[in-house]
Chains A and B, each alone.
Chain A
Amino acid sequence: MNTAMISNLLRSTINRCLRTQNVIKMVSSTTIRRDVHTTTPANDLMEFFDNKKNWGETNIRVGRAWKLDELRIKSNTDLHKLWYVLLKERNMLYTMEHECNDKMRLFPNPERIDKVQESMNNIETVIRERNVAYYQLETGETGERPVEDVVNLFGLREKYQKQEYYIPRFMNTRWVRPYLENGFITSAAVKKFYRLYKEKEYNVERKARNKDFRHVQHLLKRFPNMSMETLKAEYPDVDIEKAKRSRKARGHFMPKY
């Protein structure tokens, strides 16, 4: 009886935690507790939410994302700290977005998420650059995960990302090569698949080419005084002389010849 009661209580608490409507209530209870225990610097769940004064705002204007060149002049420690500032900000933005959707409110300035994400991507790029420079200098290799150009089991070219194993390949009997040896297609089924795949690919290309050609024909019809250099630069694959000769490219007038 007692254990059943305890498990029931546990379940109800977990349910309460999971329900988003109750998050604020839970949070407020923790805040009160924090006020009592002032000795510990408690970082409570409210860190997932924005500052309270921003809650009713319709426009929270912020600056732009960190650029690569600005991050390149920062030390590793700074980047490490900045990463966690951005991570917390992103968590906060996701929480606020979710909460706004939940409460049928408009989430102000959703582009902030993109700005934070762009900054985080840039930090990763800069760190990778630094690490690659170190490994290039010390070992002559990039230190990145090795990648190999292979032909996969469907006969298609792909980049195979190698994995790390603790025994060499000849000892590893459980490892099955997920690509064709030396890139040679030997099976008739794969050959047939590859042929059909190529055909499909060719059709997509052909359709795009014809679409461009038709588009150029219409452009020539509508803008006969257009600069041909810009047209050629925009559609380098289209034979413009051929398009000019076609009937579709002629405007609504009687031909002079």
Chain B
Amino acid sequence: MRIYGFLAKKVGDLTIKYSNFPESYVKRSYEQVYWKNPSNYPQYPKAQIARKHYRFTTNRPWTSQFRMQNDRNMHRKKVFVEPVGEWSFFKGDRVEIMVGKDKGKQGLVTQVIQERNWVIVEGLNTHLRVVGKDKKFPGITIQSEAPLLVTTDVKLVDPETLKPTEFEWRYTEEGDKVRVSLASSRIIPIPKAAEETIDFKSKELYIENVDKDTTSDAAVKITFAPKLRTFEMDIMEEMGIKEDREPAKSFWY
């Protein structure tokens, strides 16, 4: 049964990876559940009243701006997103713009918004925005980048010819999955910047929180030695708890 179809996965994998949050947190931060039946009571069906359609924009799902844009009384037209299959555009990729006033220019991808098939290219495809306009103050004009569709508006750049190219996912002899440019058959490597999250540029550069985090040395230390015991038996022995009583015979039905 597809009753809970509206709870299906909507936020992209790359968004969750970028947020560095547990998936459950991302889900509960953007979902608007107005009523939920108490769980684990047989008399209540598993039902809830929640917002079904969300408008995903450049604002990330866990932000307050997202919440404001998806206010309870706000209902906007459905957006049709072309299915792209496997996602192939990552942060730090060099792309060429195929449409608009910056057509033919190349730039680096700074943001990926998978929910809408969008990428944002650094300093390109911009418009001017006036911020903080007042009766007394004329406001500040800033340049802001508009998102581009990965299906039609941008193309990956071939590392050899530096021209826009089509590409394909293939396997190397080592078994790694790579993007291969069809123009020159060169591998288009996934940039290091794709690892970046809100918290760190790359995993090695993460600074541990001394009070809260387990150090990596302690985490990778192997302390497990296989023994013919259950967890409870092991803990009892560790704590010196002796149990000689035989459990009474019981019946399961």
Partners in one complex: yes
Minimum Cβ distance to chain B for residue A100 (Å):
16
Residues of A within 8 A of B5 (CB): 208
Residues on the B chain within 8 Å of A230, using CB: 83-85
CB neighbors of A among B140-162 (8 A)? 151
Q: How far is the CA of A147 from the CA of B251 in the complex (A)?
A: 14
* A interface residues, Cβ below 8 angstroms from B: 51, 54, 60-66, 70, 72-80, 110-111, 113-115, 117-118, 127, 130-131, 134-135, 137-138, 143, 146, 162-169, 175, 201, 204-205, 208, 215, 218-219, 222-223, 226-227, 229-231, 233-234
C-alpha spacing A110/B84, complex, angstroms:
33
- Verify A111–B22 contact, CB threshold 8 A: yes
Q: A114-B24, A164-B252, A223-B151 are in contact. Are A131 and B230 (CB under 8 A)?
A: yes
> Bound state CA distance, A190 and B234, in angstroms?
50
A-B contact count (CB 8 A): 130
Contact present for B251 and A51 (CB under 8 Å): no
Q: Give Cα A61 to B213, complex, Å.
A: 10
Q: Are A114 and B21 in contact (CB under 8 A)?
A: yes
CB contacts (< 8 Å) of B231 on chain A: these are 76, 79-80, 127, 130-131
Q: Mark B2-28, 1 if CB is under 8 A from A, else 0.
A: 110100000000000000111011001
- Asked whether, in the complex, the Cβ of B83 is within 8 Å of the Cβ of A111, the reply is no
Q: Who on chain B is nearest to A135 by CB?
A: B230
| Contacting residues of chain B (205-253) with chain A, CB-CB under 8 angstroms | 206, 208-209, 211-214, 219-225, 228-232, 234-235, 238, 248-253
* Min CB–CB distance A93 → chain B (angstroms): 11
In contact, A222 and B80 (Cβ under 8 angstroms): yes
Please tell me which one of the listed residues B84, B208, B230, B248 contacts residue A63 in the complex, with CB atoms under 8 A apart: B208
Residue B173 at the A interface, CB < 8 A?
no
Contacts A111-B21, A162-B253, A164-B250 given; does A75 touch B1 at CB 8 Å: no
Q: How far is the CA of A114 from the CA of B219 in the complex (A)?
A: 19
CB proximity of B31 to chain A, nearest CB, Å = 13
Chain B 120-146 residues near chain A, CB threshold 8 A = none
- Contact in complex: A219, B208 (CB < 8 Å): no
The answer on a CB contact under 8 Å between B230 and A114 is: no
**Could you tell me which B residues sit within 8 Å of A by CB distance?**
1-3, 5, 20-22, 24-25, 28-29, 80, 82-85, 151, 199, 206, 208-209, 211-214, 219-225, 228-232, 234-235, 238, 248-253
**A219-B80, A223-B82 known; A75 vs B223 contact (CB < 8 Å):** yes
In whole Å, how far is B142's beta carbon from the nearest beta carbon of chain A?
25
Apart from A62-B212, A111-B22, A233-B83: 9 A-B pairs, beta carbons within 8 A: A63-B206, A63-B208, A75-B224, A110-B25, A134-B229, A163-B253, A165-B250, A222-B82, A223-B80
B224 touches A164 (CB 8 A): no
On whether the beta carbons of A166 and B209 are closer than 8 Å, the reply is no
With A127-B231, A166-B248, A169-B253 known as contacts, the answer to whether A63 contacts B213 (CB < 8 A) is yes
A223: B residues at CB distance < 8 A: 80, 82, 151
Q: Roughly how many angstroms separate A56 CA and B21 CA in the complex, as a whole number?
A: 22
- Known: A74-B224, A130-B230, A146-B252. Contact between A65 and B1, CB under 8 A? no
The residue of chain B having its C-beta at the shortest distance from the C-beta of A235 within the complex is B83
CB-contact partner of B83 in A143, A163, A231, under 8 A: A231
Q: Note all chain B residues with C-beta closer than 8 A to A137.
A: 228
A168 contact set on B, CB distance < 8 A: 251, 253
Q: How far is the CA of A165 from the CA of B20 in the complex (A)?
A: 47
Partner of A73, one of B224, B229, B248: B224
Complex contact A77–B238 (CB within 8 A) = yes
- A248 CB → nearest B CB, Å: 13
Expressed in whole angstroms, the Cα–Cα distance for A131 and B29 within the complex equals 35
Contacts of A114 in B (CB 8 A): 21-22, 24-25, 28
